[in-house]
Structure 1
Amino acid sequence: MRLPSGRKRPSLRRAAIAAFATMAAAAAAAAVVTLPANAAAPPPPAGWTQVFLDDFNGAAGSGVNTADWQYTTGTSYPGGPAGFGTGEIETMTASTSNVSLDGSGNLRITPLRDAAGNWTSGRVETRRSDFQPPAGGKLRTEARIQMPNVTGAAAKGYWPAFWMLGAPYRGNWWNWPGIGEIDIMENVQGINNEWATVHCGTSPGGPCNETSGIGGQRACAGTTCQGGFHTYAVEWDRSTAVEEMRFYLDGVNFHTVRADQVDATTWTNATNHGYFIILNVAMGGGFPDAFGGGPDAGTQPGHPMLVDYVSVLRSAGGTTPPTTPPTTPPTTPPSGNRDAYRPIEAESYDGQSGLGTETTTDTGGGRNLSAVANGDWALYKGVDFGSTPATQFYGRVASGAAGGIGGLVEVRLDSRGNPPIGSFSVAGTGGWQSWRTVPANIGPVTGTHDVYLTFTSGQGADYVNVNWFDFGH
Structure 2
Amino acid sequence: MRDSSGTRPRRPLRRALLAAVSALGLAAAAATLASPSASASAPAPPSGWTQVFVDDFNGPAGSGVNTANWQYDTGTSYPGGPANWGTGEVETMTSSTSNVSLDGNGNLRITPLRDSAGRWTSGRIETVRTDFQPPAGGKLRVEGRIQMPNVTGTAAEGYWPAFWALGAPYRGNYQNWPGVGELDIMENVQGLNRVWATMHCGTNPDGPCHETSGIGNSTPCPNSTCQSGFHTYAMEWDRSVSPETIRFSVDGQVYHTVNANQVDATTWSNATDHGYFLILNVAMGGGFPDAFGGGLDGDTQPGHPMVVDYVQVLRSGGSDGGGTTPPPTGNRDAYSPIQAESYDSQSGTITEATSDSGGGQNIGAIANGDWALYKGVDFGSTPARQFYARVASGAGAGVSGLVEVRLDSRSNAPIGSFALANTGGWQSWRTVPANISSVTGTHDVYLTFTSGQPADFVNVNWFDFGH
Task: Compute the TM-score of the two structures, normalised by the length of structure 1.
Answer: 0.64
In 2, the alpha carbon distance for the partners of 1:174 and 1:201 equals 13
Q: Secondary structure at the match of 2:255?
A: strand
Matches within 5 A, 1:126-275: 126-275=127-276
For residue 9 of structure 1, the aligned residue among 8, 11, 31 is 11
Contact 1:2–1:183 under 8 Å retained in 2: no
| CA-to-aligned-CA distance 1:121-169 (integer Å, 9 cap, x gap) | 0000000000000010000000000000000000000000000000000
Q: Indicate how the Cα distance of structure 1 residues 74 and 139 shifts in structure 2: closer, same or farther if over 3 A, else same.
A: same
Match of 2:96 in 1: 95
| CA-to-aligned-CA distance 1:36-55 (integer Å, 9 cap, x gap) | 11011111011110000000
* Matched AA of 1:309: Y
Q: Secondary structure at the match of 1:108?
A: strand
* Matched AA of 1:114: D
Contact 2:99–2:110 under 8 Å retained in 1: yes
| CA-to-aligned-CA distance 1:312-356 (integer Å, 9 cap, x gap) | 0011214799xxxxxxxxxxxxxxxxxxxxxxxxxxxxxxxxxxx
Q: Does residue 292 of the first structure (1) align with residue 293 of the second (2)? A: yes
Identity %, equivalent residues: 71
Contact 1:16–1:219 under 8 Å retained in 2: no
Q: Which runs of 5+ in 2 are unaligned?
A: 27-31, 323-467
Match of 1:381 in 2: none
In 1, the alpha carbon distance for the partners of 2:119 and 2:320 equals 52
Q: Indicate how the Cα distance of structure 1 residues 238 and 18 shifts in structure 2: closer, same or farther if over 3 A, else same.
A: closer
In 2, the alpha carbon distance for the partners of 1:279 and 1:80 equals 19
RMSD after superposition: 1.9
* Matched AA of 2:232: T
Q: Secondary structure at the match of 1:58?
A: coil
In 1, the alpha carbon distance for the partners of 2:96 and 2:269 equals 38
State the 1:222 CA deviation.
Answer: 1.5
Contact 1:110–1:122 under 8 Å retained in 2: yes
State the 1:19 CA deviation.
Answer: 8.3
* Matched AA of 2:285: G
In 2, the alpha carbon distance for the partners of 1:219 and 1:240 equals 28
State the 1:15 CA deviation.
Answer: 5.2
| CA-to-aligned-CA distance 1:27-83 (integer Å, 9 cap, x gap) | xxx943x44110111110111100000000111100000011000000000000000
Contact 2:187–2:195 under 8 Å retained in 1: yes
In 1, the alpha carbon distance for the partners of 2:122 and 2:138 equals 36
| CA-to-aligned-CA distance 1:225-250 (integer Å, 9 cap, x gap) | 00000000000010002101000110
* Matched AA of 2:228: G
In 2, the alpha carbon distance for the partners of 1:55 and 1:97 equals 20
* Matched AA of 2:125: V
Match of 1:423 in 2: none
After TM superposition, the structure 1 stretch with the greater mean CA deviation from structure 2, 299-308 or 289-298, is 289-298
**Number of matched residues?**
314
| CA-to-aligned-CA distance 1:393-421 (integer Å, 9 cap, x gap) | xxxxxxxxxxxxxxxxxxxxxxxxxxxxx
Q: Secondary structure at the match of 1:83?
A: helix
In 2, the alpha carbon distance for the partners of 1:280 and 1:211 equals 19
Q: Indicate how the Cα distance of structure 1 residues 283 and 156 shifts in structure 2: closer, same or farther if over 3 A, else same.
A: same
State the 1:2 CA deviation.
Answer: 2.7
In 1, the alpha carbon distance for the partners of 2:33 and 2:177 equals 37
Q: Secondary structure at the match of 1:287?
A: helix
State the 1:293 CA deviation.
Answer: 1.3
| CA-to-aligned-CA distance 1:75-120 (integer Å, 9 cap, x gap) | 0000000001000000000000000001111100000000000000
Q: Which runs of 5+ in 1 are unaligned?
A: 25-29, 322-473
Contact 2:145–2:231 under 8 Å retained in 1: yes
Q: Secondary structure at the match of 2:59?
A: coil
Contact 2:198–2:217 under 8 Å retained in 1: yes
Match of 1:122 in 2: 123
Match of 1:62 in 2: 63
Contact 1:16–1:193 under 8 Å retained in 2: no
Contact 1:54–1:310 under 8 Å retained in 2: yes
| CA-to-aligned-CA distance 1:409-449 (integer Å, 9 cap, x gap) | xxxxxxxxxxxxxxxxxxxxxxxxxxxxxxxxxxxxxxxxx
Matches within 5 A, 1:454-469: none
Contact 2:58–2:102 under 8 Å retained in 1: yes
State the 1:9 CA deviation.
Answer: 0.6
Q: Secondary structure at the match of 2:278?
A: strand
Contact 1:150–1:303 under 8 Å retained in 2: yes
Match of 1:50 in 2: 51
In 2, the alpha carbon distance for the partners of 1:231 and 1:36 equals 12
Contact 2:124–2:282 under 8 Å retained in 1: yes
In 2, the alpha carbon distance for the partners of 1:198 and 1:64 equals 27
Match of 1:75 in 2: 76
Matches within 5 A, 1:317-466: 317-318=318-319
In 1, the alpha carbon distance for the partners of 2:33 and 2:144 equals 14
Contact 2:23–2:254 under 8 Å retained in 1: no
In 2, the alpha carbon distance for the partners of 1:149 and 1:140 equals 26
Contact 1:160–1:282 under 8 Å retained in 2: yes
Q: Secondary structure at the match of 1:227?
A: coil
State the 1:221 CA deviation.
Answer: 1.7
Match of 1:306 in 2: 307
Task: Compute the TM-score of the two structures, normalised by the length of structure 2.
Answer: 0.65
Match of 1:84 in 2: 85
Q: Secondary structure at the match of 2:150?
A: coil
Contact 1:128–1:276 under 8 Å retained in 2: yes
